[in-house]
Structure 1
Amino acid sequence: MATAGCTMPRFRLLLDPNHYTTLLFYLFISMAILFGQSHAYDILDPNGNITIKWDVVAWTGDGYVATVTMYNYQQYRHIEPPGWILGWAWQGKEIIWTMVGAQATLQGDCSKQNQVPHSCVRTPTIVDLLPGVPYNMQVANCCRGGVLSSLAQDPLTAVASFQITTGLSGNRNTSVKLPKNFTLQTPGPGYTCGPASVIKPTMYEAKDGRRKTQALMTWSLVCTYSMVSARKTPPCCVSFSSFYNEAIVPCPACACGCEDKSTCYEEAPLQTVTDGTQPGITPQVIAPKIHCTQDMCPIRLHWHVKQNYKAYWRAKITISNRNYASNYSQWNAVFQHPNFDNLTEVFSFTYKSLNPYGDAINNTAMFWGIKYFNDLLMEAGPNGNVQSEILFQKDQNTFSFSEGWAFPQRVYFNGDQCVLPPPDAYPKLPNAASAVEAHISFMAFSCMIVVALICFI
């Protein structure tokens, strides 16, 4: 009841009470995005980052030789083609004499130098070399076109390196000025890099283990990822279905934006996919060509509760690519579900438990394709999907098909969080009350038949 001097807000009268749950769900998701991801904190990978380290291995007449190494410490976020782009600003008049394993995108104006340097740009941008370059242009962990694996998928290729020789940069620990304003694009925005700071010199151990050497000087910096600054709209969505309910819960409408239908495709265009990794061709960002759907998401992940056994239950995961212009190599998907602590078998994907909360809670699983089988998610079309079934053992203390328990709580694809349906839309168990009413109706009908037969006799 409204009190004197107060009026009931008019918008409340327009809301359907049945929609409160949905509204609260989207409000919660929005708050989580604004206050969680804006600070580059990922709840499923709290320690994930890309650390960049500079090791000065030799002094020269007017500068130094350094090995620059990028370590991807993110469990499931990798860098896809066309690869990473590293940038910084020199504090003085430094130049780059030579590079091995990478290259500056611009040489700049080097007319004041007697010898022609590799780059004289004050704010150089560096890219990886493509596979297949001559051996004299390579160093260890280079030349993969900027592709950087996630730590969980392939630790050996989660590292990238190049060597740089500088000039006019100081050739003593006390005269070197650290580069500043680092940027990391992969291939677009998303990463924020902190300042470089001098750390303890890196130690190197000889192959026989009998001698150790160290860098002359080492500094490092950390780059963290924020989904908010990376994308204006989510890149993926999730749909649900189950054996106990005929309804299929689709991705929420406009989950990935509501672009004009003229920007999407009802069928495959004449020119189709390229991933920018052809030999000899500089990788380029390819404009998406999305199949027209109500959610407009390039990627859809579908979770189907397939079967129920006495001691086990089975789910099926299907990942569909709706982008006609791109395929996804080294894709991965992360699901959070309380029954992953009793995951028994994964049939067609590679699996790893992430344990973001420590060994006490095991509810997060990462899946990716099996090499040469389904590690490449093809472009939209008949072959543009990968799928696997997973088998869980039941924990009778927690297992339930009610209240949406059988469906994941969070879903990520290639490191980006996907949009889930609202909780009140999840597939529901058959209504027990309806079953009781049907049973009573059947009993009443049976009694009527019996009475009719008695009267007839």
Structure 2
Amino acid sequence: MGIIHLHRIFKPLFLFLFFFAISLRITIAQPAAPSPSADACNGVFLSYQYTSGHIIPPRYAAGSPLQPYKFQSTLTILNNGLNDLKSWQVFVGFQHNEYLVSASNAVLVDGTSLPASVENGTAFAGYPATDLKTAIETAGDLTQMQAVIDLVGTTFGVSNVSMPSNISLVNANYICPQPTMQGTSEMIVCCTLDPTVKVNTTSTQKFLPRQSGDLVITYDVTQSLASSYLAQVTISNNNPLGRLDYWMLSWDWMRGEFIGTMKGAYPTVVDTTECLYGPQGTYYQGIDFSSSSSSVLNCDRRPTIVDLPPQYANDSTLGKIPYCCRNGTILPYAMDSSKSTSVFQLQVYKMPPDLNRTTLYPPQNFMINGTFNPDYRCGPPVRVTPTEFPDPMGLPSNVTALASWQVVCNMTQPTTPKCCVSFSSYLNDSVIPCKTCACGCQSNPSHTCSATTPALLLPPDAALVPFANRTNLTTAWAQIKHWPVPSPMPCGDNCGVSINWHLYTDYSTGWSARVTLFNWGGNNFADWFAAVKLDKATPGFQAMYSFNASVLPGINGVNNTIFMQGLSGLNYLVAEAPASDPKANPPVPGKQQSVISFTVKNIPNLDLLGGDAFPSKVFFNGLECSIPSLLPSKGDRMVATSAMSSFLLAVVVLIFVQR
């Protein structure tokens, strides 16, 4: 009877606890309800809500702008429109020197890995879910319509609520008005499709159209098993001035993946330690993770991959991949279409819970760079229509990839140039050298030279010797010309490559210039190229005699850039030759030279001596070079470029005429 009595007492309690647990589980599984303001939005509703924050060490005096504070915020993206929002991207205008530590369900669009500084604002992209469906096709299922991003980071100098200056949807064809505040801790905005853009609401297209960019990386899954897949990575250069030498590609594995074997490229470090002592080693008991094994190459969360040398192109184990094995050289398409692409393959092992053939995720946060090249900023992988490949058996058909993603990267010039330009003319016996510290200087060079004093004009022969050997020639030239010699002397340009543009001749029907490339560094440049932008004179281009040259079509819609490269067999700019006694016999730079000719026919208002005969921009291997602020003129007089004329009037080292 006692047992029956206890059963009668505890049975209702057990039932209560059981149904309470079920209801709690259901409650937790449901996504957070959107803000009531979202009901009035028939587009894409964005919300940024500050949830909490507190002071963290180190402690500074009250009110110090250096005082760090932890902040936690929630970014919500809700699709209330009629169209799927594919590959959503949202910009958050952080404004308090924020340092972002983590972001759930998202990655940074610029490919930066967290933690990272976002002080100038940043854009987020969805990961692993990239698309938001509509309420109509999901019956209002918020798990498919909404993305909730939990942000954790550090802000500085803001002790209370830290809010961004703006939030907006980055996706094309959407218009976002100025966001509004709901109280002091929530910012909202409703973004709608541009009414002037026609959108096919009945389209069944699964993926976004392929995008264009300076450099495009395509990640194709070509074979898939339950626990691994084979991917092919294609790097394509689309910019006529883009280039990579010894490219290095890196990304982040987000789901515990690791690299098995590779063909056409190789990781910079072969290391399986993280797998051996991590969950990968526990799950894959049958894989040999020792360094002597060839079954696994790299287990880094962020591997770095490089191209193979040419001798591996036909290697049956590592090569035999089209467009591989060129030491990481990718040239412009117009220069050599066969060298404008690099391709490699890799075997990728997956981890639970992704162990089926259809669960495929690309890596994130792609980054690519070279040795003496522009920088590239890459966006997130975007799912696109599967790539088509020629049938491997030669049949008249194509084979599609199982899944394809596209990463678009665009060129950015480095803050500090790596090359510079000097100007000279037949009208003047002085050379305008590269700017002082054109390619950077030491943080405190004042002990030996001045980083702010303008470079002194040079005698023609001084331009042929390294900066360290020019002092006597330069000071003697200044004394001959009766120019004051500053103390300390100006610092050098510190550039590895310089280009001299010399106005060679000027006659009634045309003119010519002489272009000389100098390599002051220790590295050879194979397949080099240069480009000059002549704002008015380019239509008169006729020929270049020791280089191959042509006008590039439509750079930003204007044909004003001349592309030049070495002739076949002569496209090698050698490194500086060392000297046994640098003081007595200066090192000799690598040098290439050619004359370029122009006509003035049908080009009205061309003022050659006023500056039209000199380029406004010069590039070497895709890098924009530093250009002087002066132009040569007759005698000892120099002409200041318009942007610098007011400043240079105060300089007494040279005699100037305002342009």
Cα pair 1:76 1:153 within 8 Å, conserved: no
Cα pair 1:85 1:127 within 8 Å, conserved: yes
Change beyond 3 A, Cα 1:366–1:125: same
1:246 paired residue number: 429
- Match runs of 1:292-307 below 5 Å: 294-307=492-505
1:33 paired residue number: none
Change beyond 3 A, Cα 1:390–1:172: farther
- Post-superposition offset of 1:394: 1.0
- Match runs of 1:422-433 below 5 Å: 422=629, 425-429=630-634
Aligned mates of 2:247, 2:556 — CA distance in 1: 31
1:115 paired residue number: 287
1:214 paired residue number: 400
Aligned mates of 2:516, 2:223 — CA distance in 1: 52
Change beyond 3 A, Cα 1:225–1:173: farther
Which one of the candidate residues 270, 273, 283 is aligned to 1:106?
Answer: 270
Cα pair 2:384 2:406 within 8 Å, conserved: yes
Cα pair 1:76 1:151 within 8 Å, conserved: no
| RCO comparison, higher one (Cα < 8 Å, 6+) | 1
Structure 2 residue 330 is the aligned partner of structure 1 residue 124: no
Structure (1 or 2) with the larger CA radius of gyration? 2
Structure 2 residue 431 is the aligned partner of structure 1 residue 226: no
The percentage of counterpart residues that share the same residue type is 31
1:116-156 CA distance string (max 9 Å, x none)? 32322222222222221223311111112222222232121
1:420 paired residue number: 627
- Post-superposition offset of 1:429: 4.2
Which one of the candidate residues 344, 366, 382 is aligned to 1:197?
Answer: 382
Change beyond 3 A, Cα 1:121–1:257: closer
Structure 2 residue 362 is the aligned partner of structure 1 residue 181: no
Cα pair 2:381 2:407 within 8 Å, conserved: yes
Cα pair 1:173 1:217 within 8 Å, conserved: no
The gaps in structure 1 that reach 5 residues or longer are 1-38, 40-46, 268-291, 432-457
TM-score, normalised by the number of residues in structure 2? 0.50
- Which segment is superposed worse, 169-178 or 117-126? 169-178
Aligned mates of 1:227, 1:184 — CA distance in 2: 14
- Post-superposition offset of 1:357: 4.3
- Match runs of 1:4-15 below 5 Å: none
Structure 2 residue 252 is the aligned partner of structure 1 residue 89: yes
Counterpart amino acid of residue 168 in structure 1: K
Which one of the candidate residues 313, 332, 338 is aligned to 2:511?
Answer: 313
- Match runs of 1:33-182 below 5 Å: 49-80=214-245, 83-104=246-267, 105-109=269-273, 110-111=275-276, 112=281, 113=284, 114-116=286-288, 117-133=296-312, 134-138=315-319, 139-168=321-350, 170=354, 174-182=358-366
Change beyond 3 A, Cα 1:179–1:421: same
Aligned mates of 2:426, 2:213 — CA distance in 1: 37
Change beyond 3 A, Cα 1:258–1:64: closer
TM-score, normalised by the number of residues in structure 1? 0.71
- Post-superposition offset of 1:306: 0.8
Cα pair 1:54 1:67 within 8 Å, conserved: yes
Cα pair 1:97 1:167 within 8 Å, conserved: yes
Change beyond 3 A, Cα 1:131–1:308: same
- Post-superposition offset of 1:187: 4.0
Say which SS state the counterpart of residue 608 (structure 2) adopts.
coil
Counterpart amino acid of residue 334 in structure 2: A
- Post-superposition offset of 1:202: 0.8
Say which SS state the counterpart of residue 404 (structure 1) adopts.
helix
Aligned mates of 2:620, 2:448 — CA distance in 1: 26
Say which SS state the counterpart of residue 162 (structure 1) adopts.
strand
1:336 paired residue number: 533
Say which SS state the counterpart of residue 398 (structure 1) adopts.
coil
Structure 2 residue 520 is the aligned partner of structure 1 residue 322: yes
Counterpart amino acid of residue 530 in structure 2: A
Say which SS state the counterpart of residue 612 (structure 2) adopts.
coil
- Post-superposition offset of 1:430: 6.6
Say which SS state the counterpart of residue 115 (structure 1) adopts.
coil
2:614 paired residue number: 407
Cα pair 1:333 1:413 within 8 Å, conserved: yes
Aligned mates of 1:316, 1:251 — CA distance in 2: 17
Cα pair 2:526 2:571 within 8 Å, conserved: no
Aligned mates of 1:185, 1:253 — CA distance in 2: 27
Change beyond 3 A, Cα 1:166–1:358: closer
Change beyond 3 A, Cα 1:199–1:135: same
- Match runs of 1:363-378 below 5 Å: 363-378=560-575
1:154-176 CA distance string (max 9 Å, x none)? 12111111111122264767511
- Post-superposition offset of 1:407: 0.8
Say which SS state the counterpart of residue 403 (structure 1) adopts.
helix
Change beyond 3 A, Cα 1:187–1:428: closer
Cα pair 1:59 1:171 within 8 Å, conserved: no
1:339-398 CA distance string (max 9 Å, x none)? 121211110111132234466x42111111113124334325446111100110113523
Say which SS state the counterpart of residue 132 (structure 1) adopts.
helix
Structure 2 residue 604 is the aligned partner of structure 1 residue 397: yes
1:312-336 CA distance string (max 9 Å, x none)? 211100111122x222222211101
Say which SS state the counterpart of residue 392 (structure 1) adopts.
strand
1:450 paired residue number: none
- Which segment is superposed worse, 132-141 or 102-111? 102-111
Aligned mates of 2:468, 2:634 — CA distance in 1: 35
Change beyond 3 A, Cα 1:53–1:262: farther
Change beyond 3 A, Cα 1:394–1:173: farther
Change beyond 3 A, Cα 1:318–1:50: same
Aligned mates of 2:572, 2:417 — CA distance in 1: 23
- Post-superposition offset of 1:301: 0.9
Counterpart amino acid of residue 259 in structure 2: I
The gaps in structure 2 that reach 5 residues or longer are 1-121, 123-211, 289-295, 450-465, 470-489, 578-586, 637-659
- Post-superposition offset of 1:192: 2.0
Counterpart amino acid of residue 222 in structure 2: V
Change beyond 3 A, Cα 1:374–1:208: closer
Aligned mates of 1:332, 1:159 — CA distance in 2: 17
1:287 paired residue number: none
Cα pair 2:244 2:369 within 8 Å, conserved: no
- Which segment is superposed worse, 408-417 or 238-247? 238-247
Cα pair 1:99 1:164 within 8 Å, conserved: yes
